[in-house]
Structures are given as structure tokens and as C-alpha cells.
Chain A
């Protein structure tokens, strides 16, 4: 019967696609573009699963598997190590915080103080939000900003919210200030810049070649070309 054979085909396709056929890289949202550039020529081409480090780590802890995770915050790297899922950890890049605004603007600290709302990563768990809270606290501005925060799910979502005009100003990574529809404003002063460290975490011992590919000397140049600092 046609109907039954159709069902059989659908079932086979679904079972074949149940787990990804290529290695999965769980990448902090801010590193999506650089990781995609690094794996573009690999065969099989790894699947890049981009999201906030907090979400990705929780999924890996719940059994999501995967080859490598790029963590944007040492606390989340430590969480993976504590649960015994990190086979190897290698610092891979650094970043800086800047004020950002919709395309064509150049937000300054006055805009930050006056804006009706401020886009941050969700400071309760998203790395870019935790770094921003740390920096704004050191700068003495957190109490004044706290009530105006529009939390985003990850760094890219924060850039999307700025591009959509949700708020006139946000505090995001320098590397996300180049996204479509986003303009970089003043950088945060050196004195309040937190140490932002990205770690590559090997999850699957069989994926060590991919791990080396993402973190090796050739990869460093690609990270730098995307605006990231050395680890």
C-alpha cells in the first residue's frame, strides 16, 4: 500500500537523522561566525550548534554529547570539568566589552546613563551579561543600570535586539559590534574591562584532531581576523 510504504520511508529517514552524522561543535553564540569559518572546508563538515554557553553546557550535562564546546566563561568551563565531561581544556581567545547601538549611532557613556533601556546578555547566566554586570559594577554604574536591563538569551541575540532598535544602547562584545545593523560606540575603560577568556573544551576523545584544528596556530589567525584577542 502506498500509504504504508510512505510511512516506512519517513521512518527510515527519521531514524537515519536521529543523531547528527557529523561531529557537533557547541559554540558560544559570539564565536559562531569564527567557528563556522574554521570548519567550512572540513569533510564531513561539523554541525555548529550556537547558543549561550550556559544553555550549551546544561544541554551537554543533560546528555547532548558533541565533539567540542567553545565556552565563553571560565565558570561554565569549570562546570563541565566538575561533571567529568571535559577531556581537555585549552584557552583559545579573548574579547573586550564595548557600548553598542543601532546602525549609524555612536553611543557614549552619557547614552548609557540616560537610555530608557540597556541590552545585556541575561546577567543571571549568559556569559556576556555576567561580564557586563562585572564591568558595570566595577565602574559604579550597575545600580543605575540594573533596573533598565533588557536581558538577551545570548550575545548574538543581544546584537539582534540592538539591530531591531529594542534599546538605544547595549553592552556587548567588541566582536558583536560588527554585526549587521549594529554600530560600535565607546569601549569600556581598561580599568573596568573584565578578563574575558574563551576555552575550547574537548568532549569526545575521538575528536582531538578537530579540537587541535580549532585551537592550533593556523586557527589563531582566523580568530584574530574575526576580532578576537589572543588567549
Chain B
């Protein structure tokens, strides 16, 4: 697959893979207080503050030939690039969901509960629909982060043309090749196109969601 298509695929799958954990963790973190919450939050946010190379190294220790998860044979596959993108995108996703859930009026949730709704139903029909704009924002941030991912990807997925050479890696490789400047410029232009496209899509989605939440 060419780097543009591969980057789009990897970033989309990474965003998808991060969605369920991000919504679950974001909601849980928004509603919970105490030491366990702080510990979970620290672990979830770690990839945001760690250098991506460290994240990649940790993933390689986990999934590498001598790691505890070696049986999955993950490293140096497209799936490894997806995992790397999902892990580095997750903190941004969780944070956006968490802030949106915290902003939901607890009175509405209590009213639903008083009327006999189970906690799961309250979450599904009140909390999450109201927090949807935050979920959309989180998805965009995670997608953008996965699209730009470099350090963790090159460690855990390598730089195989067609399989794991995403846009940032293709640009880097072109710069390390004599006479590769024109190719590097082409990949940079494609990155700009993808990023602006993602922003435009997010704007459209955010408006659609805002309309829905407004009339709900």
C-alpha cells in the first residue's frame, strides 16, 4: 500500500481501536474519585508525556520476540503500527471524553435514575449522547496523533515499504536518500492534505452532533 493510503488506514483503525477503551476509561475517570483513579489516569496519560520512542520501546518489550505477548507475533506488521497509533492517541481521546462527561449535568442523570433507569441505561441514553461532542473531538485528536506517529512506530513496526512505511516514515526515508528531496516534499504535501481533510471532516461531524444534541 502506498504511504498515503497506509497512513489513512492505520490512523483510522487506531482511532477505532481506541474508541471503546477511551469512552470506557473517560467515563470511569469522570465519575470516580480517589487513589485508584489517579493511578489509572497516570498510566493512561503516560504516552502523552513520554517520548514516543519510550512508548515504542515499552511496546517492543511487551510484544517483542522475548516479551510476554510474543505469541501474538505483532512487531513489524501493519497491526503493530495500528497499536502504536492507538496507544499514543488514547490519552488525548480519554481526556476529551472525560472532560465532556464531567460537564454533563448530574441532575439529568439523577432524574433518569429516579424514573427507574438502570445505570447502564442512564449512561447509554443520557450521559453519552450529551457527551458526544467530546467523543468526536477525542476521536479527531486521536486520529491526528496517530497520523503523525513516528517514534513508537519505527521501533515497534519498522519501516517496511508497503506494510509499515506510513507518511512520516516515507518522508524521513526520502530525506535519508540521496536525491530524495522532491519525494520528501510530495509526502509533506500529502500530509497537509490529509490533516486539513481530517479537520474539515471533524468540523462537519461536530456540527451534525451539535444539532443532534441540541434537539435531543
Contacts and interface: CB of A to CB of B under 8 A. Distances in A.
Interface of A: 7, 10-11, 13-15, 17-20, 24, 47-49, 51, 59, 61-65, 152-154, 156-157, 159-160, 162-164, 176, 179-182
Given A14-B9, A20-B163, A64 B158 contact: yes
B198 interface: no
A153 B65 contact: no
Nearest to B74: A63
A156 B12 CA distance: 33
A196 to B, nearest CB: 20
Interface of B: 1, 6, 9-10, 12-13, 16, 60, 64-65, 70, 73, 75-79, 82, 158-163, 175-181
Nearest to B75: A63
Contact of B160 (A49, A61, A63, A160): A49
A163 B176 CA distance: 10
A160 B177 contact: yes
Contacts of B82: 14
Given A18-B163, A176-B178, 15 more contacts: A11-B13, A15-B79, A17-B78, A17-B163, A20-B162, A47-B162, A49-B160, A49-B161, A59-B158, A62-B65, A160-B178, A160-B180, A179-B178, A180-B179, A182-B178
Contacts of A61: 65
Contacts, number: 87
B53 to A, nearest CB: 13
Contacts of B9: 10, 13-14, 17
A30 to B, nearest CB: 12
B75 A64 contact: yes
B175 to A, nearest CB: 7
Contacts of A153: 176
Nearest to B64: A62
Contacts of A11: 13
3 smallest A-B Cβ distances: which pairs?
A180-B179, A179-B178, A157-B176
A79 B21 CA distance: 40
A24 B12 CA distance: 26
B162 A181 contact: no
B75 A62 contact: yes
B176 A156 contact: yes
A179 B161 contact: no
Nearest to A51: B159
Contacts of B12: 7, 10
Contacts of B176: 152-154, 156-157, 160
A49 B159 contact: yes
Contact of A59 (B73, B76, B77, B179): B76
A179 B65 CA distance: 36
A47 B76 CA distance: 13
Given A11-B13, A160-B176, A180-B179, A63 B70 contact: yes
A18 B79 contact: yes
A62 B60 contact: yes
B73 A17 contact: no
Contacts of A49: 158-161
Contacts of B70: 63
Contacts of A180: 178-179
A24 B160 CA distance: 9
11 contacts: A10-B9, A17-B163, A18-B79, A20-B160, A47-B160, A61-B65, A62-B64, A63-B64, A63-B65, A64-B75, A180-B178
